[in-house]
């Protein structure tokens, strides 16, 4: 059950990072361009980390696919 909370937490962090990038995109300050790139880089890094975590969890047996009857 704790693993589900970890996955949901990472997904929330991804959404927050995406929201920050959107905010910096719509802002008129020139310095916000670099902040937008950093926010998008964090989103990509978190997405890759989540993907690798799910693969690791599958191979370690922490999660199992749902069986269709």
The pTM of the full predicted model, rounded to 2 decimals, is 0.84
Angle at 45 between CA 15 and CA 21, to 5 degrees: 45
User: Which of 31 and 62 is assigned the larger pLDDT?
Assistant: 62
Region 15-24 average pLDDT = 93
Tell whether the model's pLDDT for residue 68 goes beyond 90. no
Q: 21 CB contacts (<8 Å, ≥6 apart)?
A: 36, 39, 40, 43
pLDDT digits (tens, 9 = 90+) for 24-49: 989 888 878 888 999 999 999 999 99
């Amino acid at each position: 059950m704790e693993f589900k909370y970890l996955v949901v937490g990472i997904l929330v962090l991804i959404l927050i990072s995406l929201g920050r990038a959107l905010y910096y995109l719509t802002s008129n300050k020139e310095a916000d361009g670099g902040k937008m790139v950093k926010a998008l880089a964090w989103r990509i890094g978190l997405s890759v980390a989540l993907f690798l975590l799910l693969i690791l969890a599958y191979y370690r047996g922490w999660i199992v696919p749902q069986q269709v009857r």
